[in-house]
Amino acid sequence: MTIDLDSWRNLPAAQQPDWPDVDELARVVAELETLPPLVFAGECDQLKQRLGAVARGEAFLLQGGDCAETFAANSADNLRNKLKTLLQMAVVLTYAASIPVVKVGRIAGQYAKPRSKPVEVRDGVELPVYRGDAVNGLEFTPEARVPDPKRLLKVYHASAATLNLARAFTTGGYADLRQVHAWNQDFVKESPAGERYERLAGEIDRALAFMRACGADPEEFHTVEFYSSHEALILEYERALTRIDSRTGLPYDTSAHMVWVGERTRDLNGAHIEFVSKIRNPIGVKLGPKTSPEHALALIDKLDPEREPGRLTFITRMGADKIRDVLPALVEKVTASGAQVCWVCDPMHGNTYEAPSGHKTRRFDDVLDEVKGFFEVHRELGTHPGGIHIELTGDDVTECVGGGFDLVEDDLHTRYESACDPRLNRSQSLDLAFLVAEMYRE
């Protein structure tokens, strides 16, 4: 049976750019179709296995990176700092949860953004909204905001370069466990909240010393498995990178190991859900506070008819004030149906507000509280809090308020660099990891 990878074309596709030149788009798509895959199908299967362990309660997912990657910020330093932060968080979480942490970046392909409004108004001037570097430019000029299909080729090449460097960093010694632990010790020393983290860091230190004394030095201490993911938003791009795996004859979207469908495009009868139902990668779906249990069950039927653990990840983004009310019914009904999905908490997107300065921001305490609520609900129901999905950067930006250094709204202007949503900075990300680790002890 041949799988129809174009069935989505007959369905409404939300959030697609209004490309001014469709012939140019066709040329770009034709070129993308000839280019090598960015990831291999076998790697996607391996991630699906790892996520299967998450679904069974035997592993934890740490997924994170920028809200929107940009071509301008695609540098070695930027990637190194993000990876460093993710690896540091992963060590703390691995120790605290005593289960493997599956590491997945919002990295190497996260270039397209769904938007709530089609236009942006500044000082009375109205322009099309920025939809990510995959589509148009961030600069507030009419020229920059015109969608340009050639950007999709740039996304491909930027993603290839990022993945190449990420593979080098994570297998070439940079991810060495002792090194990562030493960075954590530095963080604990420098953070105003460090005293609170000292005990945990000390325990990890002794565990490592014990293993060293035993002569244990496994390969896993020196390299890490790292996977890429992004929102599958621009369907022409995702379709062009979808290839038939020669081993199995099945289609994989080779733009990333895992792709997810966002809160604004998860319509059951829409093009996005149709498209991802056809590919064999692990799939995520964001679930906001209005998601009904029936919708979640219908998504499972459509995306995971075989009930394959690791195939489907529900990334809930409810808001700190709603998670304890909304999540229980969803988890209960999905569990009762017999499906095994990964439950992952995105504590970012339900907690965004505008500061008086006009900056989009989030309070660290709200982020933490949503994760806390997520753990509480799963504990209550006896289900597995499978992971966290975070918008972060490895740099010392000032985009979210709170955290160990207690950033306030008046600080936001000092280093606000996000092209879209506010990210936890390096120390806020590590604060979060240590505080989530504490949740395992409560």
Which residues participate in the annotated binding site? 67, 106, 263-264, 286, 317, 349, 391, 421
From the list ligand PEP, Mn ion, none, pick the one residue 394 interacts with, judged by a Cβ distance below 5 to 8 Å according to partner type: none
Of 422, 431, 417, 426, nearest to 396 (Cα)?
426
User: How many residues can be counted in the chain?
Assistant: 442
Burial of residue 93, with CB atoms counted within 10 A of its CB: 0-12 exposed, 13-18 middle, 19 or more buried:
buried
Contacting residue, 41, 51, 55, 67, with Mn ion by CB under 5 A: 67
| Region for residue 148 given its phi and psi (left: phi exceeds 0; alpha: psi -120 to 50; beta: otherwise) | beta
Interface with ligand PEP, residue 262, by CB under 6 A: yes
Q: Do 428 and 397 contact (CB within 8 A), yes or no?
A: no
* Chain CA centroid to CA 431, Å: 18
Site for Mn ion in 357-396 (CB under 5 A): none
| Residue placing its CB nearer to ligand PEP in the complex, 131 or 317 | 317
Annotated binding site for phosphoenolpyruvate: 106, 263-264, 286, 317
- Tell the smallest beta-carbon distance from residue 138 to ligand PEP (Å): 15
Ranked by CB distance to ligand PEP, the top (closest) residue is: 262
Q: Quick one: which segment of 65-73, 116-124, 194-202, 407-415 binds Mn ion (CB under 5 A)? A: 65-73
Among 263, 369, 399, 431, binds ligand PEP (CB under 6 A): 263
Return the structure tokens found at 273.
Answer: 């859900």
Q: What is the DSSP letter of 220?
A: G
Nearer residue to ligand PEP within complex by CB, 62 or 224: 62
Q: What are the backbone angles phi and psi of residue 249, rounded to the nearest 5°? A: 75, 15
Task: Answer positive or negative: Cα dihedral of 65, 270, 370, 350.
Answer: positive
- 67 is an interface residue for ligand PEP by CB under 6 A: yes
Q: Is 349 in the site for ligand PEP (CB under 6 A)?
A: yes
Q: How far is the CB of 160 from Mn ion (least distance, A)?
A: 23
- Total of residues contacting ligand PEP (CB under 6 A): 9
Query: Which listed range, 62-70, 140-148, 294-302, 379-387, lies at the site for Mn ion (CB under 5 A)?
Result: 62-70
Closest CB 392 distance from ligand PEP, rounded Å = 12
Smallest gap from residue 61 Cβ to ligand PEP (A): 15
For residue 39 the two structure tokens come to 């990831």
Residue 286 interacts with ligand PEP (CB under 6 A): yes or no? yes
Shortest distance, CB of residue 20 to ligand PEP, whole angstroms? 24
Residues 92-111 that bind ligand PEP (CB under 6 A): none
CA dihedral (222, 79, 97, 39) in degrees, to 10, reads: -80
131 counts as binding ligand PEP under rule CB under 6 A: no
| Stretch of 63-71, 191-199, 208-216, 408-416 contacting Mn ion, by CB under 5 A | 63-71
**How many helices (H) and strands (E) in the chain?**
12, 14
Task: Output the smallest distance, CB 362 to ligand PEP, in A.
Answer: 12
**Cβ contact 100:56 at 8 Å:** no
Q: Which is nearer to ligand PEP, 263 or 304 (CB)?
A: 263
Q: Which of 148, 238, 421, 431 binds Mn ion (CB under 5 A)?
A: 421
Angle 288-440-401 (CA atoms, 0-180°, nearest 5)?
55
Distance (Å) of CA 296 to CA 29, 43, 388, 393:
33, 27, 19, 31
Candidate ranges 48-56, 121-129, 260-268, 303-311; the one touching ligand PEP (CB under 6 A): 260-268
Under the criterion CB under 6 A, does residue 317 sit at the interface with ligand PEP? yes
User: CB-wise, 71 or 183, nearer to Mn ion?
Assistant: 71
Number of residues that bind Mn ion (CB under 5 A): 2
- DSSP label of 306: T
Cα separation, 81 vs 430, in Å, equals 12
What span, in angstroms and rounded, lies between the C-alpha atoms of 380 and 359? 37
Q: Smallest distance from the beta carbon of 406 to Mn ion, in angstroms?
A: 24
Contacts of 206 (CB under 8 A, 6+ apart): none
- Amino acid identity at 200: L
How many angstroms separate the CA atoms of 236 and 229, rounded? 17
For the bound state, the minimum distance from the C-beta of residue 348 to Mn ion, rounded and expressed in Å, comes to: 6
Question: Cβ of residue 94: shortest distance to ligand PEP, in angstroms?
Answer: 24
The binding site for Mn(2+) comprises 67, 349, 391, 421
- Site of tokens 């305490």: 365
> Smallest Cα–Cα separation from 50: which of 100, 93, 98, 108?
100
Q: What element of type H or E holds 301?
A: helix 293-303
Residue 115's binding partner, choosing from Mn ion, ligand PEP, none, with beta-carbon cut-off 5 to 8 A by kind?
none
Binding residues for ligand PEP (CB under 6 A): 67, 114, 262-264, 286, 317, 349, 421
Binding site for Mn ion (CB under 5 A): 67, 421
